[in-house]
Homo-oligomer: A and B are copies of this chain.
Amino acid sequence: MRQAGRHLPEYREILATRTFLEVCSTPELAAEVTLQPVRRYRVDAAILFADILLILDAMGAGLTFAKGVGPRIARPVRRRQDLENLQQPDVEATLGYVFDALREVARGLKTEGLHDTTLVGFAGTPWTVAAYLVEGGTSKYHDNLLGWSYRDPAGLRELLDRLADVTIEYLLGQIDAGAQALQLFDSWGALLDEERWQQVARPSVERILDALGDKVPTLFYIRHGAHLLNTLKQLPVNALSVDWRQPLSAVRKVVGDKPLQGNLDPGALLSTPEEVRSRVKTLLQEGQGGAHIVNLGHGVLPMTPVENASAFVRAVAELGQPFPGDD
């Protein structure tokens, strides 16, 4: 997760003269930064360089990223009446640059002899995307979102369904463009308790998963979701991706042998290569009892030393077992 990005000097070089959104929306640049960590670390998968909020720009909400501030939404949607301000976008016309970037990455992987690299597309869950759309950006309290969810849950679900429908088209477009797996990120799902997650967030997630069917393998990421696992294990996804707060053995106690992705603390990559290697050893033991896609539990931190990220990948390659079918 976030393997492409600020921790890489070659990424910082590209960003030095460009904005984040400029890189996202220029297929050659998005493809280039997607490929950077694959070249450097030889990871098994390339995750597209993009942002979960791009669909909001396509829907006319207005998206900017100010340095050090994070995303800003120009026209937040805070109540049912605001829904009419949201556009039903022509996804190909408004988000085609993402599809072009995916095609460019696929080409690049071929050209550079990285045939075995799985190309992963992604989107945010409607609840998580709404966490930004409703608040107008990052938020300390999420009070607009929470208030709406308590005052008018049906209205909010309408928004989430609208977001789900655009997300479906967006993800189907990603598959068409070469995505071989898709990950849904529910970074803010854990604002909700389990019952409310089921009532408010789940329907729009299932809407997406139903539409995707089994076209490509799907992964579902939850941040800080120890209290949601009982519900999440029922989702029709191929793997659950979890953060580092619970060892995978504890997650397995709830979800059984479901394939898991994760979950080294990204903070552990701020230590030393030796420490990283020792943590990977433990991580691999913890992951036993089902398929395990080794990963961090959240995005690579911007200040991660390259040698530690490298030590992580190397340790997994040396100590882990390849997937059945891999050579």
Residues on A lying within 8 angstroms of B by beta carbon are: 141-143, 146-147, 149-151, 190-196, 224, 226-227, 244-247, 250, 265, 267-268, 270-272, 275, 301-303
Contacts and interface: CB of A to CB of B under 8 A. Distances in A.
A150 B247 contact: no
A226 B242 CA distance: 14
Contact of A247 (B192, B193, B245, B271): B193
Contacts of A143: 267, 270, 301, 303
Among A149, A151, A245, A271, find the residue whose CB has the most chain B CB atoms closer than 10 A: A245
Contacts of A226: 226-227
**Assembly stoichiometry (copies):** 2
A150 B303 CA distance: 14
A134 to B, nearest CB: 12
Among A191, A193, A275, find the residue whose CB has the most chain B CB atoms closer than 10 A: A193
A10 B192 CA distance: 31
Contacts of A141: 301-303
- Report the 10 A-B pairs with minimum CB-CB distance, sorted nearest first: A146-B267, A147-B270, A150-B271, A226-B226, A226-B227, A227-B245, A227-B246, A143-B303, A193-B245, A151-B271
A277 to B, nearest CB: 13
Contacts of A195: 247
Contacts of A142: 267
A267 B142 CA distance: 8
